[in-house]
Amino acid sequence: MRRITICRVFASIGAGGVLYLTPLVFNNLSFSATEIGLGFCIAAIAGTITRLATGIWIDRGLGFEVALKIGAIFAIIADLLLLTAYTNISYLVGELFLGAAAGIYWPSVEIAIPNSCEEGHSNSSKGFALARTADALGVTIGVIIGSISASLGNIRSIYIIEVLCMCALISLLNKTDLPGKSLQRLELSGQAQKGGLSYRVSEIINLLKLLLPILIISLLGTGILSLMQIGIQLDLVKGGIVRPEVSSSFVGLIVAYKLILLLFIQWPIGKWLSHKNVIVGLTLSNINFLLGCLILSISSFYSSGIFLILLGLIPISIGVAMFLPTATEAIVRVAPKEQRGLAMAIYSQCFGISFLVFPLIAGTIIDNQGNAMMLWLIMAFCCLLVNPLIKQIRPIS
């Protein structure tokens, strides 16, 4: 578990600046909100494919250490492409590799948590809470470094930082590989299903039915998360109906504020929720998302609305701190043990689909309306719609 936590910190430091500040890099090149959103959509499509493939291969015995190394290599290629990207085509190609890297990374690092924890609900719940805290710490550090670089006029250094972090990640995995465990997984998978690398269609359909309520709720949760990586930045630099626009450097500070807030609340909230039913965690997260989106929408009508944005980011951060470990734990609790890899890959597709759909919708709304007021209002309404689905989740006791 310690090894996975350190790996997540390294990965998140690199990803923090890239995910949160890439919109600002290309906004400075006069890319439209729609063009920037399209890059995130390309990344999501690539991630959708690699997530499913990675989940299947992990269930068939591929060690998560190997998958993490492959993901790191894809991330390095993406960073080098984005570092030298000044045209729309080069930007899209870089995002393609970045999405593929994320698709390989997430199922691998998520399934590593229950594999690394002792059997039992409490242990895996605390494991996911610790993992999310490591993510928050790494992302916060990455964004702070990126914000400092942006203020110094060298915002593209975020890609160099991620390359260094990925090299450190690969080095760490090389020093701590456990070939015995990987071999054991291969032997077990061979006994479970001799040969084949694909599930029967009926198995996938049955698993989808089992996970459907969680997946719909997760699409909204990950959608809001994706908007925190592109929508809020575009909202700030474009301004609201009355609220004035802010500079890119100030946007970086606001993003850092949100991430620092998440860093401090992630572990205590996650630890508290580890003793609660997953339905409690998902209900509370949805309420916080609703409240936060409403406040962000209202901020557009005030000249000093920036203070409402700072206020609205508090319940959204609480919602994220509740949603991420709880939704992942819900997948582990509902899915059969022999299908956890596929279940985690399907769950990870929520991230891919959300990053495919929501950034494009956000960019279109902001370009057409000139602000994000309607975007946040729609998200608040969606929170109301999905709330009844939470009670339909049936975790294994």
Q: How far, in Å, are 55, 212, 265, 329, 372 from residue 129 at the CA level? A: 22, 23, 11, 10, 32
Is residue 51 within 8 Å of 103, Cβ to Cβ? yes
Distance, C-alpha 258 to centroid of its chain: 15
**What is the structure's pLDDT at 278?**
87
Is residue 166 within 8 Å of 14, Cβ to Cβ? yes
Distance, C-alpha 230 to centroid of its chain: 12
Residue 177, phi then psi, degrees to nearest 5: -60, 145
DSSP states of 143-207: HHHHHHHHHTT-TTHHHHHHHHHHHHHHHHHHHH--HHHHHHHHHHHHHHSSS--S--HHHHHHH
Fold classification of 2-189+199-392 (topology level): Growth Hormone; Chain: A; (1.20.1250)
Boundaries of every domain in the chain: 2-189+199-392
DSSP letter at 319?
H
The two structure tokens encoding residue 46: 């690539």
**What is the structure's pLDDT at 133?**
84
What is the block-wise mean pLDDT of the chain (397 residues), using blocks of 10 residues? 82 89 86 84 87 80 84 96 94 95 86 63 66 85 86 90 94 66 42 48 79 92 89 89 85 83 88 86 95 96 94 95 88 79 80 82 88 94 93 71
**What is the structure's pLDDT at 36?**
86
The two structure tokens encoding residue 192: 């479970």
**What is the structure's pLDDT at 338?**
72
Is residue 158 within 8 Å of 19, Cβ to Cβ? no
The two structure tokens encoding residue 201: 């269609």
**What is the structure's pLDDT at 35?**
87
How far apart CA 306 and CA 245 sit, in angstroms, is 9
Query: Interior CA angle at 391 toward 390 and 397, to 5°?
Result: 105
How far apart CA 97 and CA 103 sit, in angstroms, is 10
**What is the structure's pLDDT at 215?**
92
The two structure tokens encoding residue 27: 């906004």
Q: What is the pLDDT of residues 225-284, one digit of tens each?
A: 989 877 898 899 889 999 998 877 788 788 888 888 988 898 899 888 888 888 999 999
Closest C-alpha to 250, from 334, 184, 168, 309: 309
**What is the structure's pLDDT at 307?**
95
The two structure tokens encoding residue 193: 């299903």
- The number of beta carbons lying within 10 Å of the beta carbon of residue 173 is 19
How far apart CA 347 and CA 325 sit, in angstroms, is 13
> In sequence order, what are the residues at sequence separation of 6 or more whose Cβ sits closer than 8 angstroms to the Cβ of residue 222?
350, 351, 353, 354, 355
**What is the structure's pLDDT at 124?**
65
> In sequence order, what are the residues at sequence separation of 6 or more whose Cβ sits closer than 8 angstroms to the Cβ of residue 196?
none
